[in-house]
Structure 1
């Protein structure tokens, strides 16, 4: 999976990286948030709202993402390039917007880590992007890494909270019928 989806060949004017997040929640729950291309605000902290411009959320769909204030962008236009429900792979490209992320493409894959009670999920997100004129590769990657790391931590927090709420509910239910 790593060689297939996360081994980018970068050109001399690009930078990229891979980030990993272990999530204490089963893969199907985590995937249910990731695969919703039309609803990135379900876990991405810096997304104010999203509108589908073309498609139904499947491959080839285009979304317009409105970014929260405080970031050096207001809008990002993104296309869904790959969505594989069997292998848990989502790939998208930024194709427009008022930011400096030119030729940005991102791939996220989910991997099940066997555990006794429902399992854990390992999320890997990698990207490649052009380094803007007047910027360095280190600065560009640092910016992208910060955003992705926040998104992955948010994904972990949201899915883990859903699991903990379910466990508390089941425990209360068990006590009620004991």
Structure 2
């Protein structure tokens, strides 16, 4: 279940959507260990957010962030996330993607065709940042027949341990203009719904790949 908790100053339109990694801990010492791990995990998430997900939404913009814990090692998850030229590898609403010029570099632009079910058919998107060392991907919407003007997103992946096995923490944040006739809450709710679908699909694809490659090491 994905929930929303308050965060940020008033007027910034910042919220944090959190997807839990699993069920609650048991009693006794196991519960103490689980609680300590949860606190450490929350601290790590907060640090990643502070360091890598800095947005400064204007008065007529909204911003939010969501997290997902995936039971697959970082290198598998990142191999999907970094595929700017093939977002359909895990994004269920993308039917086709073509990168202008064919080369993949900072400033590259992709033309995305969107499947039916969303209030759009095309999106033109520019690669702002692709960092294979820090595992950061940033994309900005620069055109298309959608209403998400000045949409900019950052997605980062981080190694973690889940149930004693290699896992990955994924954080995706965004900032976008609030369209005329809509509220900040309505805009964030729509974008978050799409991102949640993408992150759920990313987890499913990554975990399936992890099962097919059970000896995959934990990325450092």
Give the unaligned 5+ runs of structure 1.
Answer: 171-178
- The corresponding residue for 1:9 is 56
Is 1:91 aligned with 2:142? no
In the alignment, what sits opposite 2:191?
A: 144
TM-score, structure 2 as length reference: 0.73
Report Cα offsets for 1:45-75 as digits up to 9, x if no partner.
Answer: 1000101124512211100000001210000
Q: Deviations over 1:132-154 (max 9, x none)?
A: 00111111100000000100010
Equivalent in 27, 30, 42 of residue 77 of structure 2: 30
Query: In the TM superposition, what are the counterparts of 1:159-178 in structure 2 within 5 Å?
Result: 159-167=206-214
Partner of 1:112: 159
CA RMSD of aligned residues (A): 1.5
Cα distance in 1 between the residues matched to 2:145 and 2:121: 6
Q: Structure 1 pair 116/142, CA: closer, same or farther in 2 (3 Å)?
A: closer
Q: Alignment partner for residue 81 of structure 1, among 128, 135, 155?
A: 128
Q: Which runs of 4+ in 1 moved over 4 A?
A: 115-118
Aligned to 2:42: none
Aligned residue pairs: how many?
168
For 2:196 and 2:163, locate their aligned partners in 1 and report how far apart those are by CA, in whole Å.
27
- Give the structure-1-normalised TM-score: 0.90
Higher relative contact order (CA 8 A, sep 6+): 1
